[in-house]
């Protein structure tokens, strides 16, 4: 497999500063609850939370909708739940990438039952062409084409998460 850079580190960081400034503007005073979807969104959470200048709580939620490899299992399973109550909170779900929309369609409904004051989604990347379920996304870092990407938190079979750039993972060219 070969890696080709799609979004270099500097562009990721510049875009996250813009998103942070936008989020600061959009929210009224008070604490923002940032809910990071493990594991892919952990780097995005780390950088976006520091680009936001208002008070922010962070918590983590484990979800698996993908088995190994590149295809979705279609099932959504909670593998780690939140430790905080969301009642009355302004909640911002932090996701790495929205693909079919199955995960976030399910998750926004679930978290919506916990009586937050508001609930929005921030995703680093979006592949709108791939949508199977509707998802209302407030903040999108980058819209990307229908390619499988790794790096900056995203994996292929748990590998490549620690790359600084977002790269397209493509099969090696076959010679002849």
Q: Which parts of this chain interact with ligand IMP (CB under 6 A)?
A: 40, 65-66, 72, 95-103, 148-150, 154
Active site residue 99: yes
Of 99, 146, 165, 172, the catalytic one is 99
Q: Compute how many residues bind Mg ion; rule: CB under 5 A.
A: 1
Q: What does the chain look like in DSSP terms, one character per residue? A: -EEEEEE-HHHHHHHHHHHHHHHHHHSPSS-EEEEEEETTTHHHHHHHHHH--S-EEEEEEEEEEE-SSSSEEEEEEEEE--SS--TT-EEEEEEEEESSSHHHHHHHHHHHTT--SEEEEEEEEE-GGG-SS----SEEEEE--S--EEBTTB-BTTBSTT-SSEEEEEPPPPP-
CB of 119 to ligand IMP, least distance (A): 17
CB of 91 to ligand IMP, least distance (A): 17
Instruction: Tell whether residue 40 is a contact of Mg ion (CB under 5 A).
Output: yes
Is the Cβ of residue 92 or residue 97 nearer to ligand IMP in the bound state? Answer: 97
Is the Cβ of residue 20 or residue 40 nearer to Mg ion in the bound state? Answer: 40
CB of 76 to ligand IMP, least distance (A): 7
Catalytic site positions: 99
């Amino acid at each position: 497999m070969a890696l080709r850079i799609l979004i270099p580190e500097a562009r990721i960081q510049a875009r996250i500063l813009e998103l942070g400034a936008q989020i600061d503007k959009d929210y009224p005073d008070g604490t923002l609850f940032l809910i990071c979807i493990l594991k892919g969104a952990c780097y995005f959470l780390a950088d976006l939370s520091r680009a936001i200048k208002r008070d922010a709580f962070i918590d983590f939620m484990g979800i698996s909708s993908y088995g190994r490899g590149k295809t979705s299992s279609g099932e959504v399973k909670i593998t780690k739940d939140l430790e905080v109550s969301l009642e009355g909170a302004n909640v911002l779900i932090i996701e790495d990438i929205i693909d079919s929309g199955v995960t976030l369609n399910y998750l926004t409904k679930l978290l919506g039952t916990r009586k937050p004051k508001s609930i929005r989604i921030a995703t680093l990347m979006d592949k709108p062409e791939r949508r199977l379920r509707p998802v209302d996304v407030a903040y999108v870092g980058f819209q990307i084409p229908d390619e499988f990407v790794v790096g900056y938190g995203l994996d292929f079979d748990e590998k490549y998460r620690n790359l600084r750039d977002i790269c397209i993972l493509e099969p090696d060219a076959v010679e002849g």
